[in-house]
Structure 1
Amino acid sequence: MSRPATEPAPTGLRGRIHGIRRELAVPLYRNTYALMLNTAVNSVFGLLYWVVAARTYPDVEVGRGNALTSLMLLVSVLTQLNFGQALIRFLPRAGTASGRLILLSYAVSSGLGILGAGGVAVYCHVFRDVGDPLHMSWPFALWFVASVVIWSLFNLQDAALTGLRESLWIPLENGIYGIVKLILLVAVAQTAVSDGVFTSWTLPVVALIVPVTLLLFRRLLPRHVAATRADQEPVDRRTLARYMAGDYAGQVFNQMSSTFLPVLIVGLMGPEEGAYFLPAQTVFTAMNLLTMGITSSLVAEAARDPAHAHRYARAVLRRIALTVLPASVVIALVAPWLLQLYGTQYRENATFLLQLLMISVFPRVVVSLYMTMTRLENRTAPLAWIQLVQSVLLIGGVAVLHGPLGLDSVGWVTLVIEIVLALAVGPVVVRWLRGQRDPRSQPEPARS
């Protein structure tokens, strides 16, 4: 029931609470803030985890644990075929086919995960010496394979929740995971269990898979099917395959640069510069994940209502302008003090790099919106080309400019790449945001 015209709007604290409730009544905003919160939760618990690990385990154990978890994450990402993005794109209108689409993603990712992780495990057992940090005994190799599969399902569940417009469960799930992971990290250190870091990282996922699966298939999925049955539009296999081919290629190119860049820096500039690069890369990655979470909510909502995609995009852009961009400015301003937490040498060598990376967040938003638009149009080939260009130019630019610019070359090259790409795709994004009608005539997204 609407508020009578003669009754004044709430003011003060009550007015703020009323405004927050109205904001969260909009599915687009509710899911956007949930995914932003999830990024913050993962970042905080990720930082705490490695701080506690460094104070609880010997350096050798921490190094091996970091290497093994990174290897597991890499294999998991590559064997998921970027199915998570497909779930976000197509679940909103899959209707009665929603369950089959989720199960297909589980089956394909699990099968490829077993093959990929099995090959890696055999290599690490046969071709790595017993004293090598990556050597795996056969029992550990089996756990490594199982961990890859379970981690893939864990990530696909988050994507499914996003596609079902039920993102509020994601920060809760990952918050519980972060707490249990920290507790296990300390608890396992008091036992004779080897590889405590890897065990504490992977074991909590096993406990969370079952309840989240029950929630997904018994409660959320039936509700989603009932709500979308009337206007369902299940994706056909050809469209799904074409969509995933371009999206996966882009993911591989992105992994190529993000994984290889630290190695390149160490090879060209030495291990000290590689250490100075780590905190700047961590913060920049967190900002990109924040933007990705917001645009994922946009994909899920606009896929449900494609006629008003441009209206949702404008609403999301306003939220990015109020959250991500100011946060980038603040981080750039406090960069010297932030890096001082790591040590004086980090402040002296990485402050300008971090500031350049934060500036590059601004043009990167334009590129992210373009990539979101192409996903909604089922055109993922441009995604692959953009991420290929980013990877090649970043690696090549750093290789050429590291001599005169040092570590700052990473920041300069990243900034130039993002500006050039933003200028190239900017006109298309502007036309998309404007839509067919005057933007001022568009109402806010409908409430549920």
Structure 2
Amino acid sequence: MSVGELVAGRVRSVRREMGNPLYRNAYALMLNTVVNSGFGLLYWVFAARVFSTEEVGRGNALVNLMMLISVLTSLNFGQAIIRFLPTAGRDSASLVRLAYGVSTVVAVVGAGAVMTWCHYAYDPGDPLHVSPGFAAWFVVSTAAWSVFNLQDQVLTGLRSAMWVVLENGVYGVVKLGLLVVVAYTAVADGVFTSWSAPVIALLVPFTLLISKRLLPRHAAETAAEPDAGAPDRATLARYMGGDYLGQVFNQAMSSFLPVLVVMTISQAASAYLLPAQTVFLAMSMLSMAITSALVVEGARRPSHAHVFARAVLRRICLLVLPASLVIALAAPLLLWFYGPQYVENSTTLLQLLMASMFPRVVVTLWMTKERLANRTFGLAAQQLVHCVIVLGGIPLLAPTLGVDAVGWMWLAGELVLAIAFAPSVYRWLRRPAPPEEPGDGPAGPGDGPHDDDTRPIGGPDARTHEIPRVRD
């Protein structure tokens, strides 16, 4: 085979891959994770260089407070959007409006309560004291942030995740540019302002894009599908109830973990935890990006969800797991940028967290299967078990292992859950592929993963494999 034929084969394979909504959404969400992480790193590096440590500390605290309130008051509507919007049909717009409305109202109430506390409970001069004017800006910013995040989930549910990359890429550029501007002006709370102002500005164009173009097109395309329509309020409430409870356990563990490390080990150990935890969260988000795309396609064709899951598993094994292995091997080099003390104290921790990505694959697939079956209270139980294992085990191991106790207990929690869920996941993946539904039509380029999707990504022989059509 000549070089030209090899290149042409790979180009055809890539086009086929990107023509498939499942893979296109997954790769777009993975790219979005990389874009967000990159701009986030640049933002805080620049902020640390041009602002005082006090200003950076207050700005970081306020930004994280805003995001925490947004997470807790969104009621996990985003995951419900990913699950139900793909099949909402002509109810798509009303489902999105419901998500926007409820999240905005609850965010305003929650942020207003927190700002009232910060204004009256802290004396002027305290880092957490806020003026009435800033409190109002914080409330508006929190509501806008909630809708901004929901738009990512809406675009994912509409199989238009490439817009998510553009939205967050533009936000990252504008946020960084505005940080430069406020650094050389007298704007108060410049860090928080540069973080929140672009969100409000970007809401208008992307809201118009979704409401005027993407939602009407999606509603028209899915209206004729069997069982098209939004779920009833009881089903939606049950789904969100279990999902939200699991999110609370997960958020509580993530937020309390640095505090527990300080309590049981030392303040320095909490610092050593930070870079390892940051890298681990980024890798976890890559896996979540792929499975979010799986939920969308599985919701549209439930009978083929396990077929799609096999294709997704293969891509996780080819992309996410090798990246985790590379990071684990290169941990000393990566931590060198933080300083020699981090290399000495954080290397094993980072390697253990990367090792936990392997059993995490089983857990993530099980969570996806449960979401598609609307069994979200099982997700809450899973998060609770993991929370108890990690937070309960760290104080026992900390006296002898130090900060490495976090890595060992995290790995232990994932292994326990993976062992428990492996039989269920295996049976799900090994189901035979159902026959093609009437109207699916002949195989077309990139319309859906083949039952035995074992060809190399981008391989020259990919053109010889036909794949069943996924209705768009």
Asked if Structure 1 and Structure 2 have the same fold, meaning a TM-score greater than 0.5 normalized by the shorter chain, the answer is yes
One-letter identity of the residue aligned with 2:386:
Q
Q: Which runs of 5+ in 2 are unaligned?
A: 435-449, 454-465
Q: Which residue of 1 aligns with 2:324?
A: 328
Q: Which residue of 2 aligns with 1:368?
A: 364
1:26 and 1:446 in contact (8 A); partners too: no
Q: Identify the match of residue 59 of structure 2 among 65, 85, 89.
A: 65
Q: Which residue of 2 aligns with 1:238?
A: 234
One-letter identity of the residue aligned with 1:395:
L
2:394 and 2:406 in contact (8 A); partners too: yes
Matched, 1:382 2:405: no
CA distance in 2, matches of 1:149, 1:297: 26
One-letter identity of the residue aligned with 2:49:
R
Q: Which residue of 2 aligns with 1:317?
A: 313
Deviations, residues 130-166 of structure 1 (Å, cap 9, x unaligned) = 1221111110000111111000000001000011111
2:352 and 2:408 in contact (8 A); partners too: yes
CA distance in 2, matches of 1:285, 1:134: 27
Q: Identify the match of residue 126 of structure 1 among 120, 123, 127.
A: 120
Deviation at 1:10, TM superposition (A): 6.7
CA distance in 2, matches of 1:135, 1:294: 41
Matched ranges for 1:15-414 at <5 A: 15-231=9-225, 232-414=228-410
CA distance in 2, matches of 1:68, 1:38: 24
One-letter identity of the residue aligned with 1:420:
V
1:89 and 1:375 in contact (8 A); partners too: yes
Deviation at 1:264, TM superposition (A): 1.1
One-letter identity of the residue aligned with 1:104:
L
CA distance in 1, matches of 2:433, 2:46: 54
CA distance in 1, matches of 2:4, 2:184: 55
One-letter identity of the residue aligned with 1:111:
V
1:38 and 1:170 in contact (8 A); partners too: yes
Secondary structure of the 1:323 match is helix
One-letter identity of the residue aligned with 2:271:
A
Secondary structure of the 2:386 match is helix
CA distance in 2, matches of 1:444, 1:191: 57
Deviations, residues 209-246 of structure 1 (Å, cap 9, x unaligned) = 00000000100001101100101132111100000000
- 1:440 to 1:159, Cα distance in 2 relative to 1, 3 A: closer
2:92 and 2:229 in contact (8 A); partners too: no
In terms of fraction of residues, the more helix-rich structure is 1
CA distance in 2, matches of 1:30, 1:9: 27
Matched ranges for 1:418-437 at <5 A: 418-437=414-433
CA distance in 1, matches of 2:118, 2:316: 43
Deviations, residues 168-211 of structure 1 (Å, cap 9, x unaligned) = 10011100000100001110011111100000000000111000
Deviation at 1:9, TM superposition (A): 12
| Equivalent pairs, count | 442
Deviation at 1:446, TM superposition (A): 2.9
Q: Which residue of 2 aligns with 1:3?
A: none
Identity of aligned residues (%): 60
CA distance in 2, matches of 1:11, 1:26: 23
TM-score when normalising by structure 2:
0.91
One-letter identity of the residue aligned with 1:56:
V
Deviation at 1:393, TM superposition (A): 1.5
1:302 and 1:312 in contact (8 A); partners too: yes
TM-score when normalising by structure 1:
0.96
- 1:445 to 1:408, Cα distance in 2 relative to 1, 3 A: farther
2:95 and 2:230 in contact (8 A); partners too: no
Deviation at 1:445, TM superposition (A): 5.6
Deviation at 1:436, TM superposition (A): 3.3
User: Could you tell which deviates more after superposition, 433-442 or 231-240?
Assistant: 433-442
Q: Which residue of 1 aligns with 2:412?
A: 416
Deviation at 1:15, TM superposition (A): 2.5
2:83 and 2:371 in contact (8 A); partners too: yes
CA distance in 2, matches of 1:302, 1:437: 13
CA distance in 2, matches of 1:351, 1:137: 43
CA distance in 2, matches of 1:369, 1:156: 23
Deviation at 1:398, TM superposition (A): 0.8
1:34 and 1:171 in contact (8 A); partners too: yes
CA distance in 2, matches of 1:208, 1:234: 27
Q: Which residue of 2 aligns with 1:4?
A: none
CA distance in 2, matches of 1:413, 1:444: 42
One-letter identity of the residue aligned with 1:120:
V
CA distance in 1, matches of 2:91, 2:4: 44
1:311 and 1:445 in contact (8 A); partners too: no
User: Could you tell which deviates more after superposition, 208-217 or 126-135?
Assistant: 126-135
Q: Which runs of 5+ in 1 are unaligned?
A: 1-7
One-letter identity of the residue aligned with 1:330:
V
CA distance in 2, matches of 1:252, 1:9: 54
CA distance in 2, matches of 1:10, 1:119: 64
